[in-house]
Amino acid sequence: VLWTLPWGILCTISPYCLNKIIKYIECKDCGPPTIYTYGWVVALFVVSLLQSLTFQATLLMGRRMFVHATSICNSEVFAKTLRRKDMATRSKKQSPSGDKVAPEENHMGENSNNKDGSLNISNLVAVDIKKLEDPISYFFQIYGLPFQFVIAAIQLYFIIGNAALVGIAFMILTYPIPAKLFTAIMKLFQEIMNTKDERMDALTEMLGAIRIVKFFGWEAKFVEKITAAREKELQRTKETLIRSILAEVAWMVMPLFNIIVILLAYTKVFGNEITASMLFTTLSLFNIMRDAMNFLPYMVKQLMQAIVSLKRINKFIEEEEELVLDTTVTELDGKAKTSDSGPPVIGFVNASFIWPNKEHEQTDTKVVKKKSWIKRLKAKFSKASEPAENPEPVAEPESIQERFRLKNVSVNFPVNKLSLIVGPTGSGKTALLLALLGELERVEGSLYLPRLDYRANGASDRGSGIAYVAQTAWLQNTSIRNNILFGREFDQARYDAVVEGCALITDFEILEAGDATEIGEQGITLSGGQKQRVSLARAIYSDARVLLLDDCLSAVDTHTGKHLFQTLTGPLLQGRTILMATHQVQLTLNSADFVVVLNKGEVIGSGTPEEMVRRELVENVNLMSPLSDVDSEVSTLDEDQQDKKIKKEDKPKAVSKLTEDEKKAEGSVSIKVYLTYLEASGGWLFWGVLLVLFVIRQSLDVGQNAWLGYWSNKMATVTGAFAIRSFKHLVPEQTAQSLFKAFVPKDSNTYGVVTLALFSENGEPDALNVNYYLGIYILLSVGMMAFATLLDLYAIIGSLRASRILHNQLLYKISRAKVRFFDTTPIGRIINRFSTDITTIDEDVSVNLRWFIHAGVLILGIVAIISANMPWFLVAAAVIVVIYGIIGSLYVPVSRDLKRLNSNSRSPILNHFNESITGLATIRAYGFQKRFLSLNQVNLDDNNRTFLLLWSTNRWLHWRVDIVGAFVAFTTGMLILRNWDRIEPGWAALSLTYALMFTANVIWFIRIYAQNEMNMNAVERISEYLDIEEEPAAIIEGSRPPASWPHAGEIVVDHLTMRYAPGTPDVIKDISFAVKAGEKVGVVGRTGSGKSTLAISLFRFMDPIRGTIKIDGIDIGKIGLQDLRSNLTIIPQDPILFKGTLRSNLDPFGEREDRELWEALRRTSMRGSQLEENETVDPSKITLDTPVKEHGSNFSQGQRQLIALARALVRQSKIIIMDEATA
């Protein structure tokens, strides 16, 4: 306020100085200028400097406010993500080769385009929070501009008297008309965001499951789906842009009518004469008032978008949160404080749970009573250590009776013992562990688990005292060692023991950089077994007293499984409580202390292993046989390897860095990038026509002001390049009337005004004929508005064309990229291209390029009009341009590189979000929310640092250019006074006005050029991905296999040698073998021996260095990938399902009849199987229209595996590859 109010006052003083200077020129009898007259020029110089100083200060403070506000919003969204119910708990999957599959991360609200009522968290971070930038940064103008408007209105009254009241009244009365048009656009913004969510959801699903998409040759299907969503988004964008242009036309028409009303009132009603000082001072003040009013549409538009985004953020933040446990301890002593009645230390009492589901949140259950998120923003985590409320849940059983639930669970797990949780597929084993962690909705009863509250002091370092190993391992994109340490200090002896106990020593020897190997997103470079063992090592290395293990032996071979179980029952975990869900009953039962048996969500038995065997709830597996009796097979782990230690000081010779740092271009944006956008938007012809429209529009705009100067001088000619020679003869009154009749509709408002102005009884117009001069002014104004509207509508065509082409090209390139690209590129980095960069292209690039052209044409027009009156201005303009060029040459490179740094620093934010979302259950189980919040804040600080530096350089530019501009105004004023007797008042006023405009437009030109360089960074980043290496052709027309291929399924591998990438070691080394048609062949070998690599070589994920693979006599290296992959089938270790229905997952292209699909389900025992979570059908039935949520999250792991098997049967391939599918 202290800066804004002075700025508002100073903006209105400049017109007053202008009025005094022009009044002196009008007074031909006043003689040479006095010191008092020159004082007004000095005052104009000082006011210009102070005006710039106050404005730059307010702008910089606004940017700082934006950084503070958005940092808080970002932190709150991330904190909420860590607190909210994990509706994607069971959808955090990976592809068979380790690709990260994005979680069902988008249950954040309801919209018409998403039946699950989901939004995309990535969009909240990448788009919605960004929408707050201008409304917050320019918030000072919300109160500064009205204040400025009032000051200007008062001045205007003192200059033109009551005519000012007429003009102000007209302005206020007509203001609501365009305002309502902008209000109507608000709904379109919401629709755009909804369609953007739909596109990003489909994209995230494809990227997360990119390997399975490529395995089955489904790239085209997903491209079609994403493109369809993109077309809907562009259609909504087109409608919004057109309506915005129409609204802006209304904002342009209103000022024109306002000026006409003021001039008519001043001359016709109140009988005053037009003078240069009155006219140009009035226009200057009116422009200040108009700018204040005209800035409102932009602010209204931005505020509307911000409101939509804030509602989305608020809706997300107000979602239900994780459950609060009934027992929380502050010391990790393994003993929970319990009541005298003896509730269990770990377990449940008459507890029932259901899976979290957004659709039922409002009617089913209210689990946590939340405070307003605004209050939490004020607190900024300061009250995080306060104990959370634990209200009694309220449920409506009849509304949830069809959803899978754990029913009436009462279990007391023994402390410091090994407890097993067993049962058939879909019985609720995973659900029981997650319920214990508080991840499920509690319908009734109590649960108990001693854990340290992560909000307590020091908890971020110590954790919760709980360790969790998910059914599908969650790993971070860092080294193996860092994954095992998980933020804890390195202890050499403990680390060695854990690595040996988890059978990782040999793996470290195979890996080039040992435990320093970076494993990529979700352990992309590790096999399923390796990932599971690293996840288990993380849990064992922790100091947690309670370990929850969800089927952690499923992804490893039998021998490794025995070795791992020896570790779990050995001294390394002695005195720790272990709860283990498993199918490996025969391996684990004889060492267990307690067993819980589940079936269909109910505990059908619990007790000692002997009791469960006696009740025939588990199979008798010779309970008297100790585990050591089967140790002979474990020796295959190679005892010599187990003696080796991983020394802290032993650093590999070359650390394997899988994920490369994001590239940052150097220097100016290359001409190639501009040509890429130019070609995408329509080519040279499009931009040539656009330039012509700009020249015509700007000529008409300059013509308006030149005509006012001519009118005020009451002269018949204007010298110079844009001379207006005697409009009385050049444009006779009859000709003007004919033009109006031809171009102005009779039913328009303009027609009445023109009729009043031109159809007067006066014959030959003279210098005092207001009607004639006003009519010409209207003609020029209408023409300018018509061409401005035509220009904007024409520009939309190119903008949408560029947006469509660049997005589709990027999508095609990503879908055709080699798998290695996804191994080395974080998904967040790719999403950043499709979210932030595409949004920049949609909304900013075309607009800023048009502004750049507009500023350039306007500067040329200004130089021409001033030079026509004062030719010596060309010399001054040349010097000024040189000075501005020096300033610009210092500013543009710095701002460009800061913009690149700012863009690159956003990717870690998105990567951290996506990684954290995928591992919510694990992070919360360990109690490391604070640490992940801190990491997010570090990423935010890095991004904010570049952002503030970027806008600080912008302020640097403005201040220095404004200083030069103040000198320009000062020099122009002095020269006008020096030539007071040789220059007409109208031309003096016009020249001084344009001199001030010249400065503003030069700085605008420099700024827009720099902004274009920054915005073109989005095109540059997309162009970078347009050059990535593609896979071989999908179809090779001259080399297509027969339609019946493969007819037998015979495979011949001849001297095959393969490697992942150039410069890497061979992973398949000169192997040869043959598989006869119909044979069932098992490929065995230790982890890392090349089993999965051999499997994916059949799909040509990488081409051989030497050798060939032939199927039924055809070399697969000589046919297209679509022909190859569509005829093979793989059943991955981690099955991937897509959002849709069971039918769309089994037969995505609609090529099979229903009976074939039912037969496949019958053969896999899925038909009639129980749904683990399904709210729309009877839980005892499965139909082809059964909904499948993202990644199959409404099915258990075993059910997903069966569906994947059914999908393989439906394809009826002659060759089926199973990658540890029975795990």
Length of the chain: 1223
CB 146 within 8 A of CB 292: yes
Greater model confidence, 803 or 183: 803
761 vs 699: CA distance, rounded Å: 31
**Left, alpha or beta for 925 (phi > 0: left; psi -120 to 50: alpha)?**
alpha
Q: Where in the chain is the domain with CATH 3.40.50.300?
A: 1037-1218
Taking the CB of residue 725, how many other CB atoms lie within 10 A of it?
11
Q: How does DSSP assign 664-689, residue by residue?
A: ---SSPPHHHHHHHHHHHTHHHHHHH
The percentage of residues in the chain with a pLDDT greater than 70, rounded to a whole number, is 78
Indicate whether 544 pLDDT > 70. Answer: yes
572 vs 566: CA distance, rounded Å: 10
- Cβ neighbours for 727, distance < 8 A, ≥ 6 positions apart: 707, 710, 716, 776
Q: What is the mean pLDDT of residues 702-714?
A: 73
**Vertex 1078, ends 1074 and 1080: CA angle to 5°?**
70
pLDDT at 411: 92
Greater model confidence, 6 or 727: 6
pLDDT tens sequence across 124-166 = 777 788 888 888 888 777 778 888 888 888 888 888 888 989 9
SS3 for 693-762, per residue? HHHHHHHHHHHHHHHHHHHHHCCCCCCCCCCCCCHHHHCCHHHHHHHHHHHCCCCCHHHHHHHHHHCCCC
712 vs 1033: CA distance, rounded Å: 72
Indicate whether 635 pLDDT > 60. Answer: no
Greater model confidence, 877 or 415: 415
Buried b (16+ CB within 10 A) or exposed e, 573-601: beebbbbbbbbbbebbbbbbbbbbbbebb
pLDDT tens sequence across 346-391 = 999 999 988 776 544 443 333 344 444 444 444 443 433 333 333 3
For CA atoms 312, 317, 322, 324, give the dihedral sign: negative
- Cβ neighbours for 774, distance < 8 A, ≥ 6 positions apart: 260, 263, 264, 757
SS3 for 535-555, per residue? HHHHHHHCCCCEEEEECCCCC
Q: Where in the chain is the domain with CATH 1.20.1560.10?
A: 4-317+673-1026
pLDDT tens sequence across 275-288 = 878 878 888 888 78
Confidence band of 211 (pLDDT split at 50, 70, 90): confident
pLDDT tens sequence across 901-917 = 887 888 888 888 888 88
762 vs 386: CA distance, rounded Å: 85
Query: If residue 992 lies in a helix (H) or strand (E), which one and from where to where?
Result: helix 985-1026
CB 368 within 8 A of CB 356: no
- Cβ neighbours for 522, distance < 8 A, ≥ 6 positions apart: 94, 98, 99, 100, 101, 474, 475, 477, 531, 918
pLDDT at 661: 56
Q: What is the DSSP letter of 27?
A: -
For CA atoms 859, 861, 865, 868, give the dihedral sign: positive
Indicate whether 868 pLDDT > 70. Answer: yes
Tokens of 864: 């021409």
Buried b (16+ CB within 10 A) or exposed e, 160-188: beebbebbbebbeebeeebbebbeebbeb
Closest CA to 155 of 143, 164, 142, 166: 164
pLDDT tens sequence across 475-514 = 998 899 999 999 889 999 999 999 999 999 888 887 778 8
Indicate whether 315 pLDDT > 80. Answer: yes
Confidence band of 594 (pLDDT split at 50, 70, 90): very high
170 vs 1038: CA distance, rounded Å: 74
Greater model confidence, 403 or 845: 845
Confidence band of 1181 (pLDDT split at 50, 70, 90): low
pLDDT at 620: 55
Residue 680 phi, psi dihedral angles, 5° rounding: -65, -30
**Vertex 816, ends 810 and 818: CA angle to 5°?**
115
Tokens of 1024: 């970078």
Beta-ladder partners of 1053: 1073, 1109
Indicate whether 455 pLDDT > 60. Answer: yes
Tokens of 1028: 């990535």
For 88-102, 591-605, 749-763, 977-991, which range has the lowest pLDDT when averaged over its residues?
Answer: 88-102
pLDDT at 1015: 85
- Name the average pLDDT for the chain: 77
Tokens of 925: 């189980």
Q: How does DSSP assign 404-452, residue by residue?
A: -EEEEEEEEPPTTSEEEEE-STTSSHHHHHHHHTT-SEEEEEEEE---B
Indicate whether 580 pLDDT > 90. Answer: yes
Question: Does domain 4-317+673-1026 bear CATH number 3.40.50.300?
Answer: no
Alpha helices in 161-275 (DSSP H): 162-174, 176-208, 210-215, 219-264
Q: How far is CA 1051 from the centre of its chain?
A: 45
For 490-499, 519-528, 633-642, which range has the lowest pLDDT when averaged over its residues?
Answer: 633-642
Tokens of 829: 């980095």
460 vs 458: CA distance, rounded Å: 5
Q: What is the mean pLDDT of residues 1097-1107?
A: 87
For CA atoms 1125, 1128, 1133, 1135, give the dihedral sign: positive
Question: Does domain 1037-1218 bear CATH number 3.40.50.300?
Answer: yes
- Give residue 96's identity as a one-letter amino acid code: P
On the question of a cis peptide bond just before residue 1046, with omega within 30 degrees of 0, the verdict is yes
- Cβ neighbours for 322, distance < 8 A, ≥ 6 positions apart: 83, 84, 85, 86, 368, 438, 439, 924
Beta-ladder partners of 1114: 1111
Look up the pTM and report it. Answer: 0.63
Helix (H, G, I), strand (E, B) or coil at 570: coil
Tokens of 942: 């890095």
